[in-house]
Structure 1
Amino acid sequence: MAAGRRIPPNFFSIPFGFAGLGNTWIVAGLSGHVPTWIGNALLALAALTWLAVLLAYAAYVLPRPRALVDDARDPVAGAFLSLAVVTPLLLAAQGVVPHAPGVGRVLVDVFLILTLLFGGWITGQWIYGRIDVDQIHPGYFLPTVAGGFIASAAASAVGQRTLADVMLGLGFICWLVLGSLILNRLFVGSPLPAPLVPTLAIEVAPSAVAALALFARNGGRVDIWVTLVSGYGLLLVLAQIRLLPLYLRLRFAPGFWAFTFAWAAVATTALHWITAGKPPGHRVYPYLVLAAVSALIGGIAVRSVVAAAQGRFLPPPAPPAGPDR
């Protein structure tokens, strides 16, 4: 990524998607279906991608002191900035804790605090700032709903049960509040502009990530709470079928990375259900799930590389910084 080129906050969706896919393969590996090194390799790729995006974003904002503030305050793009801290939180819990528990716990605590601080700040910004209802989109789930549930699962991974419950409650309440607001906007507001249409895929994520947080808390059992959130998740997954014509009309853009973590979370939840329930065909289903989600995310990654090689992935160069920048 060229230094000084504008790096939109939604570029942090790229490592987030790889981290989600890595988590899917880790869960499959722990169930004995595939080697665990594949999931670890994907988590390492996610970590390297996160670092690359972070450095590129820093190269853009450091010479422009107002750029970071403007991005954080942006009612459309600001929510994606949360992934700069949520992604390493997930990576610490899944990729570091199993191999270096002490280091992993420190990283989980640091990024959990940063996730909570950003979630609080952006919630205050949404209260304080003036947001047009047509600027709201499913990406609003990312800072506090995805952040809360991932923080809960991460806290469970390091044995902090009370903290896990606190963050689980944060995620659930924010899901109820923001979910109502977002669906109201989608039901009765104007259609989303084309660049934001892929964020509709994020609608499948809250129930899946909530289920993953519950699985982390209860040791992978399908209890009443997992069943309840999964029922709603099934509805939203089926609703995506009706959205296929809308997706198929889109031209490829970086926003397609919104599909990646959402569907990786659904796939990971499905693997937990298959492992716990062992339905007929349970030895085959995990491979079908892994193939489908890997093809989706791999296809988006390949399209991204092609677009970057053709100079169509990054936004146009930013204008020179003025004297007040």
Structure 2
Amino acid sequence: MTVTQAGAAESAPAPRASSSAVPIALFSIPLGLAGLGGEWNAARQLLGASAVPAAVAYAAATLVWAAFTITYVVGAIRQRPGRLGVDLRHPLFGPLTAYVPVIALLLIAYYAAGLGAAARWLCYAAVAALAVNAAALVAHWLSAPLDQDALHPGYFLPVVAGPFIASIGLANVGDREPAIAVFGVGVYFWLLLGAVITGRLFFGSPLPQPFRPVLSILLSPPGTASLAWFAITGGHIDQLQGAIGAITLFTLLIQLFFLPDYLRLPFSSQHWVFTFPLAVLGNMAIRWAAGTDFAGWRAVAWTALGISTLSILAILAGTVRDTARWLRRT
């Protein structure tokens, strides 16, 4: 199935894989909430912001992630054994199965201080789950080559953004050397898969309109790489961080040319795809502003935080509104 074919079939607000009552794409909701918590946690550390917004965002992300994960797994098992493997091989939604361990890593990184010694064990368990998930996906891609048009930026999640987020988790539990090693895995697949996905976007068929939001995921590899390197270096801006920051800035400039297309899209759950890149950008802006310590850096950091937060809250408000309308109809 190509993305173009799927566009016609998946024009409903919540595109889904076939295994469960919870569409795997909806895991972008707890991912976005965890990202929101991450930028407010950065604001707490570097701007003296209240700890309440981060705590609320992470608590919401935890509850939604847990509910979705339980429902997804139970629904898959009830349909028939081995159904999760079918989802892994799905040409569009297979990479999104990495949402589960990736979000777990973000939550563990935040709650590490309160978890004590258990944090390290939980982090390594989540890293192992992500590694198995990513290895299974790559093995499938190698053994059953995909139609080029099935590729989309979501393929970055398990093997690029995933390792960078794993690096953040490992750095937060104090294991710097493993964090650097996992960071290297992310860089390797960023270079390898980035060329393939960019080639598909350049020379393949255009993404159908409902799938346009996935173009915002192009911000996730450099953004998560930057945050991972900040976690590894303790917030220091070195030459590698400068290079990653420049890549992120140029990718953001490209995204600005997509804004008219994004703004024309009717609101749907697909808009949650925007939330994690927005949160990553806000988080990066705070850390870069604090790290460079230029005159007026606090105003810049607060502005970036405000824009990102208001954008994510607008998407949340739209989702609550649509959910309320759906409940009234049923």
Taking structure 1 as the reference length, the TM-score comes to 0.91
Match of 1:304 among 314, 319, 323: 319
Shift of 1:59: 3.9
Match of 1:115 among 126, 130, 134: 130
Structure-to-structure mapping, 1:34-73, within 5 angstroms: 34-65=49-80, 66-73=82-89
Match of 2:288 among 268, 273, 277: 273
Match of 1:245 among 260, 266, 269: 260
Q: Is residue 213 of structure 1 aligned with residue 233 of structure 2?
A: no
Contact (CA 8 Å) 1:101, 1:158: kept in 2 or not?
no
Aligned-pair identity in percent equals 33
Structure-to-structure mapping, 1:1-325, within 5 angstroms: 6-65=21-80, 66-94=82-110, 96-311=111-326
Distance, in Å, in 2 between the alignment partners of 1:37 and 1:311 is: 31
Distance, in Å, in 2 between the alignment partners of 1:173 and 1:72 is: 22
Unpaired segments ≥5 residues, structure 2: 1-18
Task: Give CA deviations for 1:242-278 in whole Å, capped at 9, x if unaligned.
Answer: 1112212212222211111112111111111001112
Contact (CA 8 Å) 1:152, 1:167: kept in 2 or not?
yes
Are residues 24 and 146 of structure 1, via their aligned partners in 2, closer, same or farther at CA, if it must alter by over 3 Å?
Answer: same
Secondary structure of the structure 1 residue equivalent to 2:134:
helix
Task: Give CA deviations for 1:185-235 in whole Å, capped at 9, x if unaligned.
Answer: 111111112232111001111111101111111110110000001111111
Aligned residue type for 2:108: A
Query: Which one is further off, 269-278 or 37-46?
Result: 37-46
Distance, in Å, in 2 between the alignment partners of 1:48 and 1:124 is: 32
Shift of 1:101: 2.6
Shift of 1:19: 0.5
Distance, in Å, in 1 between the alignment partners of 2:58 and 2:268 is: 24
Task: Give CA deviations for 1:142-171 in whole Å, capped at 9, x if unaligned.
Answer: 001111001111111112122112100000
Task: Give CA deviations for 1:280-304 in whole Å, capped at 9, x if unaligned.
Answer: 2212122211211111111111111
Aligned residue type for 1:229: I
Secondary structure of the structure 2 residue equivalent to 1:62:
helix
Contact (CA 8 Å) 1:137, 1:196: kept in 2 or not?
no
Contact (CA 8 Å) 2:39, 2:280: kept in 1 or not?
yes
Contact (CA 8 Å) 1:33, 1:286: kept in 2 or not?
no
Query: Which one is further off, 66-75 or 160-169?
Result: 66-75
Count of residues in correspondence between the two structures = 308
Distance, in Å, in 1 between the alignment partners of 2:89 and 2:103 is: 20
Are residues 101 and 32 of structure 1, via their aligned partners in 2, closer, same or farther at CA, if it must alter by over 3 Å?
Answer: farther
Aligned residue type for 1:33: G
Taking structure 2 as the reference length, the TM-score comes to 0.90
Shift of 1:5: 6.7
Distance, in Å, in 2 between the alignment partners of 1:180 and 1:215 is: 25
Shift of 1:98: 2.1
Distance, in Å, in 2 between the alignment partners of 1:237 and 1:9 is: 26
Secondary structure of the structure 2 residue equivalent to 1:61:
helix
